[in-house]
Amino acid sequence: MVNWYLSGSKCKYHYICFMKLILTFFFILILHVGIGQIPNGYYDSAIGYLGEPLKTQLNLIIKNHTEFPYTSSGIDVWDILKVTDRDTLNPNNVLLLYSGWSKDANLEYNSGNGWSREHVWAKSRGNFGTSSGAGTDVHALRPCDISVNSARNNRWFAECSTEYIDTDGPTGSYKSSSQWIWKPNDAVKGDVARMIFYMATRYEGEGLEPDLEVIDSIPSNNNTNLPIHAKLSDLMKWHLEDTVDDWERNRNNIIYYNYQNNRNPFIDHPEYAQLIWGTFTGIGVNESSPKTKKLIKILDIEGRETTPQKNKVLIYIYSDGSIEKVFKI
């Protein structure tokens, strides 16, 4: 409690400090409310599209973002990740992908004992390296423990069952001894899926950019530099199991408002993943609701969430990633 009965300059000092605290609180509150939203109309041009046409419309919305260098004396990827991935419980630290560990943000590389910048879409898959664009896009770059990053390497993402135990302890992530695959920690497997979906949508081969595609098979050649990543069905499964949380939304907002001026559509609209890559069962007359899978969302033909209606074409999205166009009578 502030003691307003202090006399003279001491009282004035305490009053000023208190008012600064109040003003700072309201500034942060206003800032949070003001920029913590999807901009009005941001996705309007994508309404009514499905499949590849929807992917194309989203590309038009999110391309031409502001680019930052990988390493620079000015603002670079290191600097941005210290903000986007800050540990809210310890603001001097960053949270590390795949392990969930918290590490001093100032330990950039640190002779191999700090943290590194993980390209979630492995930079060899398309051979774009660390050049501006795909190589520096912070929507798909995350801080990572150096040895964990090395263990993941450029492995494909898919289900596997052998937990990766690092020298610093368990990570909660998995890798296979028989296949070149990696499964992220359950807490971030959905995040990883949405970053892969973002990259496959943002980079469509325009100009010198790679044309990235997500596929549903594990390539036999682990060393290929083709612009592909796998495995779509597992990524979709993780996307549905590990849903978007406030931390992920906040990261998306920071990147949009403070740095790149573009968003990850699959964080703002998780249903876009199913509308693009989901299994369409075709359109027909449906007199009863599906019994074998869970219905999670209904959209009208313009992509707006709605409720069951008769004599109208609707899009049903199910828990297994499938999509059905339905006309109920």
- Give the list of residues 6+ apart from residue 21 with CB closer than 8 angstroms, or none: none
Pairing verdict, β 169-175 and 102-104: unpaired
Which residues of the chain are modeled with pLDDT < 50? 1-34, 281-291
pTM of the predicted model as reported, rounded to 2 decimal places: 0.80
How is 7-28 classified by DSSP, letter by letter?
A: -HHHHHHHHHHHHHHHHHHHHH
Confidence at residue 305, expressed as pLDDT on a 0 to 100 scale: 84
Q: What is the pLDDT of residue 31?
A: 38
Opening angle at CA 96, ends 92 and 100, nearest 5: 105
Three-state DSSP class for residue 264: coil
Give, in order, the Cα–Cα distances in Å from 249 to each of 59, 96, 178, 188, 267: 20, 17, 36, 13, 7
* pLDDT score of 280: 52
At 321 the three-state DSSP class reads coil
For residues 164 and 151, is the Cβ–Cβ distance under 8 A? yes
